[in-house]
Structure 1
Amino acid sequence: MPFVQISLREGRTPEQIRSLITALTSAVTESVGSPKESVRVVVTEVPGTHWAAGDVTLEEKSPS
C-alpha cells in the first residue's frame, strides 16, 4: 500500500489540495502500478512560522 506524505506551507484552497491529492494518486498508480484504492495520501499544512531553513522562518522570508 503506497503512502504519500507531503508538507506544504498553509494557504492553499481546498480545491488546490484536492487537485494535489488527485495528481499524487495518479502519479503513484501510473509509476508503480498500484490500484488507486490502495494509495494513501496525507497532506499536512504548516504555518510559515513553524517552517524554517537556516534559522529563518518562511514567515520572516515573506515580503510584507
Structure 2
Amino acid sequence: MPIVHIDLVEGRSNEQLRGLVKDVTKAISKNADVPEERIHIILNEMKKDNYSVGGTLKSDEK
C-alpha cells in the first residue's frame, strides 16, 4: 500500500487537486504495479505565510 505525501503552497482549486491525485495515482499504479484502490495520497497545503524560498515568504511575492 503506497502512501504518498504531497506538500503544496495553497492556492489551487479543487479541480486542480483532483487532477493531481488522479494523475499521481495512475503513475504509481502503472510504475509500481499496484492497484489504484490501494494507493493513498495525503495533500498538505501550506499557507503562503508558512513557506519561504531564498529568504522571501511566498506571501510577499507578487
Normalising by structure 1, we get a TM-score of 0.88
1:40 match? 40
Residue 54 (structure 1) shift: 3.5
Task: Point out 4+ residue stretches in structure 1 off by more than 3 angstroms.
Answer: none
2:21 match? 21
Task: State the AA in 2 paired with 1:17.
Answer: L
Task: State the AA in 2 paired with 1:14.
Answer: N
- Give the number of equivalent residue pairs: 62
SS at match of 2:41: strand
RMSD between superposed Cα atoms in Å:
1.0
How far apart, CA to CA, are the structure 2 residues paired with 1:14 and 1:7?
Answer: 15
Normalising by structure 2, we get a TM-score of 0.90
Residue 42 (structure 1) shift: 0.8
Is it true that 1:51 corresponds to 2:48 in the alignment?
no
**% identical aligned pairs:** 29
How far apart, CA to CA, are the structure 2 residues paired with 1:13 and 1:53?
Answer: 22
Unaligned 5+ segments in structure 1 are none
